[in-house]
Amino acid sequence: MDLDEDEDSTSRITSPGESIISSQAFMRGHGTYLEKDQVVSSVAGTIERVNRLVSVKAIRARKGIFCVTYIPEVGDLVVGRVTEVAARRWKVHINARQDSVLMLGSVNLPGGIQRRKLESDELQMRTFFEEGDLLVAEIQQIMGDGGSSLHTRSLKYGKLRNGMLEIVPSALVRRLKSHFFSLPCGVDIILGLNGFIWIMKHVKDHEQLGEQGFDAEAVYSNQNDDIDQATRGSIARTANIIRVLSKAFVPLTDAILADAYEWFMEQEGSSDVKSILNDEMADQLVAAVTARA
């Protein structure tokens, strides 16, 4: 019993089990499989074609591009959480299909010393990263099975502290020139491409990147610095703004966040950091930001 007989195989929208075209003339791409000389769709979505490559792009849930899992690519900057300490490696949750691997050999040790291949190093792994720690890293490599490995071999990468995490759909974070930036309000933001966003107290320029005053020992510290009330307010406001924008599905960039923060500070009641979360205010913010962009 063939239900597809009456289906037009050239229509743009397809669903699993519908044959798209003969595999003699075309190659199969993502979202398809081969069955008896036919390229057959395996997901519900739109048919896409590049030359002789036919693929089906799955169309999913809210707003169509709400992609829940993140697909890692080499060079992506991600924020993740350590889930497991294993032999010579950490497992890091980055919202992808599989947890990413951070090898002991691909982290900077405090003070930039060379790693000695000693057992003592492996036994001390928990002094660098423990389960539950947040870190910022770069995707170093993609494995054949879709897994990935990370590295933190830059002074910009490493353990995160002095701030809070906000999670948004990964589709909202586009690839930018830099994913680290400071807002004028004294808050630093790290936009992870996996949709994890770290909002933290501003790090003064002279304390950055191994210059004088840079505390090498603090790289793996678990202790927050003192954060004053005003900074805490700014961090919370930024986090709430991100929450509102992601709900309205506005792509996040430094300019948009700075604009949104400025707009919020001009409003009455901005001293109450929660006020932005009420629907009326949230709608106004979204309207203001999208109008300016």
Partner 1 sequence: MGSRVEILNDGGYRSDGRRQYELRDILIDLTPQGSADGSAQVSHGLTTVLVNVFGPREPRLRSQSLHDRANINVEVLIAPFSTSEHRKRNRGDKRILEFAASIRETFEPVILTNLYPRSQIDIYVQILQQDGGVLQTCINATTLALVTAGIAVKDYVAAVTCGVHSTSPLLDLTNIEESDLPHLTLATIPRTGKVTLVTMETRLHIDRFEAMMRLAKDAGAVVAQEMKVAVKTRTEDLVKSMGGATEGAKLTEEE
* Interface pick for partner 1 out of 23, 28, 40, 189 (rule CB under 8 A): 40
Provide the angle, in degrees to the nearest 10, between the axes of the packed helices 254-266 and 279-292: 130
User: 27, 71, 83, 165: which one contacts partner 1 (CB under 8 A)?
Assistant: 83
| Identified binder of partner 1 from the candidate list 27, 38, 42, 227, rule CB under 8 A | 42
15 is a contact residue toward partner 1 (CB under 8 A): yes
Please tell me whether residue 115 binds partner 1 under the rule CB under 8 A. Answer: no
Q: What are phi and psi of 164, to 5 degrees?
A: -135, 160
Give the other-Cβ count within 10 Å of 122's Cβ: 13
Rule CB under 8 A: choose which of 43, 71, 142, 258 binds partner 1. 43
28 versus 237: smaller Cβ distance to partner 1 = 28
Reading the block at residue 267, the tokens are 């409003």
> What's the CA angle centered on 191, arms 183 and 133, to 5 degrees?
110
Q: How far is the CB of 31 from partner 1 (least distance, A)?
A: 7
Write out the two tokens for 221. Answer: 């510290």
Least distance to partner 1 from the beta carbon of 109, Å?
Answer: 27
Give the number of residues written for the chain: 293
- Over the window 139 to 178, marking each residue x when it contacts partner 1 by CB under 8 A and - when it does not, the resulting string is ------xxx-------------------------------
CB–CB of 32/56 below 8 Å? yes
User: Which tokens hold the place of 157?
Assistant: 């990468």
Which residue shows structure tokens 């060079």?
Answer: 75
- Binding-site size for partner 1 (CB under 8 A) equals 48
- Contact call for residue 251 and partner 1 (CB under 8 A): no
Beta carbon of residue 184, minimum distance to partner 1 (angstroms, whole number): 34
Among 71, 93, 121, 232, binds partner 1 (CB under 8 A): 93
Does position 65 bind partner 1 by CB under 8 A?
A: yes
Q: Rule CB under 8 A: is residue 88 a binding residue for partner 1?
A: no
Among residues 4, 60, 52, 8, the alpha carbon closest in space to that of 29 is found at: 52
Q: Are 189 and 211 spatial neighbours (Cβ–Cβ below 8 Å)?
A: no
| 191 sits in which H/E element | strand 187-191
**Phi-psi region for residue 106, left (φ > 0), alpha (ψ -120 to 50) or beta?**
alpha
Of 25 and 291, CB closest to partner 1: 25
If one asks whether residue 97 binds partner 1 (CB under 8 A), the answer comes out as: yes
**13 vs 255, beta carbon nearer partner 1:** 13
Contact status, residue 101 vs residue 109, Cβ threshold 8 Å: no
Write down the residue that tokens 């991100």 correspond to: 242
Question: Is residue 232 within the footprint of partner 1 (CB under 8 A)?
Answer: no
Instruction: Mark 19-38 with x for binding to partner 1 (rule: CB under 8 A) and - for no binding.
Output: -xxx--xx----x-x-----
Residue 11 binding partner 1, by CB under 8 A = yes
What CA–CA distances, in Å, run from 180 to 25, 147, 210, 216, 269? 47, 25, 17, 20, 29
Tell me which residues touch partner 1 (CB under 8 A): 1-4, 9-13, 15-17, 20-22, 25-26, 31, 33, 40, 42-49, 54, 57-65, 68-69, 83, 93, 97-99, 145-147
